[in-house]
C-alpha cells in the first residue's frame, strides 16, 4: 500500500475497453498496473460492436415494452431478441429477474443510475484522446429510421422520459421524403425518422488497441493468454493465479471480464447475475459514403461508418458467451434491415462476428468494491459498455485510490 493507504499496484483482469480504461485512470493516479486477459486486447465485446458513443441512446434495456416484445419473439430464431430453447436453469432464473425489473419504476431507477455516466462519458473519451490514445472519436448525429410514424412513437417517448430525468438530448423528428435526405443509405421505405445530435462514433477495435498501447507506454504490462482461476491473499498482497500456474501479485484487483464476470465475482459477494446478451456484426460495402450512424429501432439494428464501409450490428441473443456464431442470426439481421437500406452490397460482407455483451437484470452496471477486501468489479453495462467504458474506469479508479465511493457509484454497488 502507498503512504496514504491507497494501493500502489493493481491487476486488472480483462483487456476490453472497461478494463483498459480502469488501468489507464489508475495509472493517472500513480498506481502500477498489470492487465491480464485469457485471450488478448479487444478479444470480446470491445471489437465488433457498433462503436457508438451515444449518451442519447444509452437507455436501459429493461424498458417495459421490451417484455411484451420479448414474449412475442421468445423462441423465434429470426427475431431480434432471441432466447433458444434450453434447459439452462440459470438463464431462466435470470430472465425471470429481468422480467420483474421491466417496470417503469425499475427502469427509471436505472436511468437515474446511468445519468452521471451519460453526462460525463464523452468528456472521459476526450481525456484519453488528448493524453496519448491515438484513435479519433468522430462527431456525428445518429439517424433513427422507421417505416411509419407509429413505429417512432416508442423512441420519442423514451427520449422525452430521459430528458425529464435530467439529461438533455437534442433531437429532431422527420417524416416523408425528408427522412431519406438524412443519409443516402436510407431507402424510400423509411418514412419517419429521429435525428439525435451531439453523438459520436469510433472504430471500437482501433480505439481499444490504441488505449492498450497507451497503457503500455505509460508503464503497464499486458499479459495475454492468462486465464485466471483464482485470486487469493498472499503475504499482505492479492495473488492472481492462472490456469498455467503463473501468478501476479498486487494490492488491488479489478475484475472487468464482461459476460464472464460471475465466474470469479460470485466468490467475491457479487450476487447480481450477468448473462451474455450476444450481438452480431459484419461489414458491407456501400454505393455512397456513409455520413454517420443509422439506427433501425424497430428491428434493433445499428449501422456505423467503418473503414470506408458500413458496419451492421444487431440482435440480442441469450446464449453462453463462448457459444459459436450462428449464421441464421446474421441472415435475420440482413432480412430485417434490407428493406430500409439501399445501395448496400449484402453479399460482399466481411468481418462477420459475434460478441457477448454483459447484461444485468435491473439495467444497472456493477461498478465498485466487493465483499472481498481489495477486490473490485467493473462490468454489466449491457449494450453500452463502449460508451460508458472510460467514465467507468475514471470513477472506479477514484474509489480504489481514495477508498471513498463516488456518489455516482452508490446505486451500482456490485454486492446489491
Instruction: Write the CATH number for 402.
Output: 3.50.50.60
Which pLDDT tens digit goes with each residue over 90-121?
Answer: 888 998 999 899 999 999 999 999 999 999 99
Calpha distance 76→270 (Å, rounded): 32
Calpha distance 337→221 (Å, rounded): 42
Candidates 415, 40, 1; CA nearest to 249 is 1
Alpha helices in 130-203 (DSSP H): 149-165, 177-180
**Residue bearing cell 493507504:** 5
Instruction: Find the range with the poorest average confidence among 98-107, 285-294, 390-399.
Output: 98-107
- pLDDT score of 166 more than 70: yes
How many CB atoms within 10 Å of residue 119? 15
Q: How many domains does the chain have?
A: 1
Calpha distance 288→184 (Å, rounded): 7
In this prediction, what percent of the chain has a pLDDT beyond 70?
A: 94
Calpha distance 343→323 (Å, rounded): 33
Q: Is 281 helix (H, G, I), strand (E, B) or coil?
A: strand
- 1 in a structural domain: no
Q: Is 249 helix (H, G, I), strand (E, B) or coil?
A: strand
How many CA atoms lie less than 13 Å away from 366 in the CB half-sphere?
34
- How would you classify the pairing of strands 309-318 and 301-306? antiparallel
C-alpha cell, 201: 462514433
Domain containing residue 305: 9-412
- 190 in a structural domain: yes
- 3 in a structural domain: no
Average pLDDT, the chain: 92
- 384 in a structural domain: yes
- 153 in a structural domain: yes
- 274 in a structural domain: yes
- pLDDT score of 16 more than 80: yes
Calpha distance 342→314 (Å, rounded): 18
Which pLDDT tens digit goes with each residue over 216-272?
Answer: 999 999 999 999 999 999 989 999 999 999 999 999 999 999 999 999 999 999 999
pTM (2 decimals)?
0.92
What's the average model confidence in pLDDT over 75-83? 66
Candidates 231, 299, 274, 253; CA nearest to 79 is 299
- 4 in a structural domain: no
Amino acid at each position: 500500500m502507498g503512504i496514504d493507504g491507497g494501493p500502489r499496484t493493481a491487476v486488472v483482469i480483462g483487456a476490453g475497453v472497461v478494463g483498459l480504461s480502469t488501468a489507464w485512470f489508475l495509472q493517472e493516479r500513480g498506481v502500477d498496473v498489470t492487465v491480464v486477459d485469457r485471450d488478448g486486447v479487444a478479444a470480446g465485446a470491445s471489437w465488433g460492436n457498433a462503436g457508438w458513443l451515444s449518451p442519447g441512446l444509452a437507455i436501459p434495456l429493461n424498458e417495459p415494452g421490451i417484455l411484451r416484445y420479448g414474449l412475442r419473439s421468445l423462441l423465434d430464431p429470426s427475431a431480434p431478441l432471441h432466447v433458444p430453447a434450453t434447459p439452462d436453469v440459470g438463464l431462466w432464473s435470470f430472465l425471470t429477474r429481468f422480467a420483474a425489473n421491466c417496470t417503469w419504476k425499475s427502469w427509471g431507477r436505472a436511468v437515474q443510475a446511468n445519468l452521471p455516466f451519460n453526462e460525463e462519458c464523452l468528456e472521459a473519451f476526450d481525456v484519453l484522446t488528448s493524453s496519448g490514445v491515438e484513435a479519433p472519436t468522430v462527431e456525428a448525429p445518429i439517424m433513427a429510421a422507421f417505416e411509419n410514424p407509429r413505429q417512432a412513437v416508442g423512441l420519442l417517448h423514451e427520449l422525452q422520459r430521459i430528458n425529464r430525468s435530467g439529461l438533455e438530448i437534442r433531437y429532431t423528428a422527420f417524416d416523408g421524403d425528408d427522412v431519406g435526405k438524412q443519409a443516402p443509405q436510407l431507402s424510400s421505405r423509411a418514412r419517419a425518422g429521429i435525428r439525435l445530435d451531439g453523438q459520436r462514433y469510433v472504430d471500437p477495435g482501433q480505439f481499444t488497441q490504441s488505449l492498450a498501447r497507451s497503457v503500455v507506454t505509460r508503464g503497464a504490462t499486458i499479459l495475454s493468454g492468462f486465464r485466471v482461476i483464482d485470486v487469493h491473499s498472499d503475504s499482505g498482497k492479492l495473488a492472481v493465479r492462472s490456469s498455467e500456474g503463473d501468478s501476479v501479485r498486487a494490492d488491488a484487483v479489478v475484475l472487468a471480464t464482461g459476460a464472464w464476470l460471475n465466474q470469479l465475482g460470485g466468490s467475491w459477494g457479487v450476487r447480481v447475475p450477468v448473462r451474455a446478451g450476444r450481438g452480431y456484426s459484419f461489414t458491407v460495402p456501400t454505393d455512397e459514403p456513409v455520413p454517420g450512424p443509422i439506427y433501425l429501432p424497430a428491428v434493433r439494428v445499428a449501422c456505423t461508418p467503418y473503414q470506408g464501409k458500413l458496419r451492421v450490428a444487431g440482435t440480442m441473443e441469450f446464449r453462453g458467451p463462448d457459444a459459436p456464431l450462428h449464421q441464421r442470426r446474421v441472415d435475420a439481421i440482413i432480412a430485417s434491415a434490407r428493406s430500409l437500406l439501399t445501395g448496400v452490397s449484402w453479399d460482399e460482407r466481411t468481418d462477420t462476428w459475434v460478441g457477448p455483451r454483459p447484461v444485468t437484470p435491473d439495467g444497472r452496471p456493477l461498478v465498485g468494491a466487493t465483499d472481498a477486501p481489495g477486490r473490485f468489479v467493473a462490468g454489466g453495462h449491457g449494450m453500452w459498455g463502449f460508451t460508458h467504458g472510460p467514465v467507468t474506469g475514471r470513477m472506479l479508479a477514484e474509489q480504489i485510490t481514495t477508498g471513498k465511493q463516488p456518489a455516482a457509484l452508490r446505486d451500482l454497488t456490485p454486492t446489491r
